[in-house]
Structure 1
């Protein structure tokens, strides 16, 4: 059990004893000092559907990540999950995006659905986020895995998020030569079970979104410093592969020293381009029209900000719990070249391993 004091883990850091929660959009300057664990809803600041939240929690104690205590995850039955869109509804949404592409409204839009299943903890408790995080770390290790659980019993704004994200949204750090602060993003576009399954559509989509991310970073970086440092690299993850690119730039002096670094960064880059589309404003409007439920922290951001440095993941491969329901989002990028049935299968591929891990009491496989 996580107890009633709160717990968080990301990038080799574990924190305990939540003491404060802030609204990042209202007080972005607070992130400039101290260590904060951040969860931002996809809808935060986008103006779509509903105003989402971007929150950060400060904890009393910070530790290097250590072996977690042996706890058993008790998830929902595998047949308890339902989807916010069935196959017919999802394929119809793919067709609608293709119509928007044909009409010149958008080049690409990410269409997602949310799976949910009833789940409650023991009487008077919440489900054990630490146990699910440990289970995913064994069965689906991820480079940007994260967990933040602040129970309602703390009296703070509660949160329950466990993520096995493979994707970097933003990192911020001082340049090694002292010449400013470097911001980097690692957009993922293109998913298949094996490298041979990656298509020309996947590669074209990745290039399109990489260009969008490059344009986003140019709004906060010094002119001429934004570069694509790698393009279309194949990364292997448990049960699937991704195409990943990397974009890097040096933050402009007025952004880096303004005291409102995170106001500028979020305004310029959020929500992440890989899970919205291009042009981003048009894609967000279409997403708001087609998706029947909010995404919440799925496709948002989760990670830490510590004394001027940061590492935030895109909130994909992410579970969140509230109101007695465990939720998990899955989606795919839609272009003119999309086949509706293939896009549905991609959403199934992204969900199948993780939902199985969250649903079963057996030991997860460790194959890659």
Structure 2
């Protein structure tokens, strides 16, 4: 039986042994071990502990090539490129942008991230023993993405339903750091502002980034010692495959009370989740707007994907963007999978200065390369 696997830059884990709700049972995570973390935007955030962990040597635990992070796997067989559908079509998305602009005009929100979920049917694959009904090969998709769209926070977690634990199938090529913890130092690097080249970035992008950076700073102040939270980098232009992003970095030192608390992860999540860059400002008002306008749950998209090494006192959690997830059809049962759905989310931050057509185009830009890669076979 497949005991599950997880992989990130410099680390591979196998043989899952338990699963906990990170918000409700964070004391269990604090007791030790290596945990892979996946959280839905709507919750919950879960952590799976693994018995076997292999780390690659080298500065910062970085590896020579990101494709090497994935465990050995077969060939990826993706859905047909024509089979993808969207939860919000273009006219509906344009209307949603205008609705957010009205919320901004009325003073109820400054910015809200509006997303759509792309889905395609993905049937059962052939297992290692030649039988039908195996879950799709997540590691194989991971290798495709690592080769065609390398990302600083790439990784994946696959816990098959047959393990008897809560299943998960997520492969990410995320460029965005949600939280890094090293001892008591916590860092976040929100992304706001996307273009094909740096010349595409406009004043609206910079204003949006500053707004969300301030929100993240306020979130971290809820768990950090007074006077320790600072913006160490503002409006940095980062190059990624096929596009550029504006990125800022905020860091602070956890308060002694939270740093020592067995439930520190519950407290950190309560202060910062879901990530501000994919919700909006004020966060509570943006979440209300999102719930009213989006027609499909985001799932792991805009949630969190990453790892916690409780023994080393380190963690690296990415915002679940540029992320695929697969779920079995409800009728397929828990052990034999006859079919399922592959999903991918894309979105844009909407402000008063947003042009609806341009925001739709941004969602297309963010999706095109990854959807093309996932639709490949062979």
Band of TM-score, shorter chain: over 0.9
In the TM superposition, residue 9 of structure 1 has moved relative to its aligned partner by 0.6
| Partner in structure 2 of residue 353 of structure 1 | 369
Query: 2:263 and 2:162 mapped to 1: Cα distance?
Result: 32
How far did 1:70 drift? 5.5
Q: Secondary structure at the match of 1:124?
A: strand
Matches for 1:148-187 after TM superposition, within 5 Å: 148-174=157-183, 181-187=184-190
1:71-90 map, 5 Å: 71-90=74-93
User: Which residue number in structure 2 is paired with residue 31 of structure 1?
Assistant: 29
Aligned-partner SS, 2:199: helix
1:1-20 aligned within 5 A: 4-20=2-18
Match of 2:156 among 147, 152, 164: 147
Deviates more, 1:11-20 or 1:109-118: 11-20
Residue 69 of structure 1: how far off its partner (Å): 2.9
CA deviation map 1:40-74 (0-9, x unaligned)? 11012xxxxxxxx2111111200125564362110
Q: Is the 8 A contact 2:73 2:139 kept in 1?
A: no
**Corresponding residue SS for 2:291:** helix
Pick from 218, 224, 238: which aligns with 1:235? Answer: 238
Matched with 2:45 is: 54
Equivalent-residue separation in structure 2 for 1:168 and 1:356 (angstroms)? 24
Worse overlay, 307-316 or 239-248: 307-316
Match runs of 1:62-211 below 5 Å: 62-64=53-55, 66=68, 68-69=71-72, 71-122=74-125, 123-174=132-183, 181-211=184-214
Aligned to 1:334: 350
Q: Which runs of 5+ in 1 are unaligned?
A: 45-52, 175-180, 363-368
1:42 partnered with 2:41? yes
Structure 1 CA distance for aligned equivalents of residues 34 and 3 of structure 2: 17
How high is the TM-score relative to the length of structure 2? Answer: 0.90
Whole-Å separation in 2 of the counterparts to 1:62 and 1:22: 18
Conservation of the 8 A alpha-carbon contact between 1:171 and 1:184 = yes
Q: In structure 2, the residue corresponding to 1:298 is in which secondary structure?
A: coil
**Residue pair 1:164, 1:317 contacting (<8 A) in 2 also:** yes
- 5 Å-filtered alignment, 1:204-223, equals 204-223=207-226
1:260 and 2:263 equivalent? yes
2: distance between equivalents of 1:288 and 1:224?
A: 35
Superposed CA RMSD in Å reads 1.1
Q: Is the 8 A contact 2:97 2:114 kept in 1?
A: yes
| Deviation >4 Å, runs of 4+ | 65-68
Deviations for 1:139-193, whole angstroms, at most 9, x for unmatched residues? 000000010001011111100000000000001112xxxxxx1000000000001
Supply the distance in 2 between the matched residues of 1:140 and 1:331 (Cα, whole angstroms). Answer: 18
Alignment: residue pair count: 346
Asked if the contact 2:180/2:315 (under 8 Å) is kept, the reply is: yes
Secondary structure class of the residue paired with 1:286: helix
**Does structure 2 conserve the Cα–Cα contact (< 8 Å) formed by 1:98 and 1:336?**
yes
Q: Distance in 1 between matches of 2:153 and 2:28?
A: 23
Render the CA deviation track for 1:230-263: whole Å, top value 9, x for unaligned.
0000000000000000000000011111111101
1:42 aligned counterpart, secondary structure: coil
8 Å CA contact retained: 1:121, 1:128: no
Q: Is the 8 A contact 1:160 1:320 kept in 2?
A: yes
